[in-house]
Amino acid sequence: MHLDPDVLSSVVTIVWFLAFIALCVWAWSARRRKDFDAAAQLPLEDLKERAADGRKGGR
């Protein structure tokens, strides 16, 4: 069986597009929201810890 390069290119494009859509659905799913919200707060928690220790942003 011989695959035409244009057909193979189309199939690969469709596979990558479906993978992209699956990744978007996974990232925007309600089950992931809690994890992403926690990750978004990580930089702010570091600032809160520094303020609680009395340091002012220095090392």
Residues 21-57: pLDDT tens digits? 999 999 999 898 999 999 999 988 877 777 777 655 5
d(CA 20, CA 55): 43
What is the domain partition of the chain in residue ranges? 5-53
* CA proximity to 29, closest of 21, 40, 17: 21
For the whole model, what pTM was predicted? 0.58
Q: Does pLDDT of 4 surpass 70?
A: yes
pLDDT at 13 over 90: yes
Cβ proximity of 37 and 31 under 8 Å: no
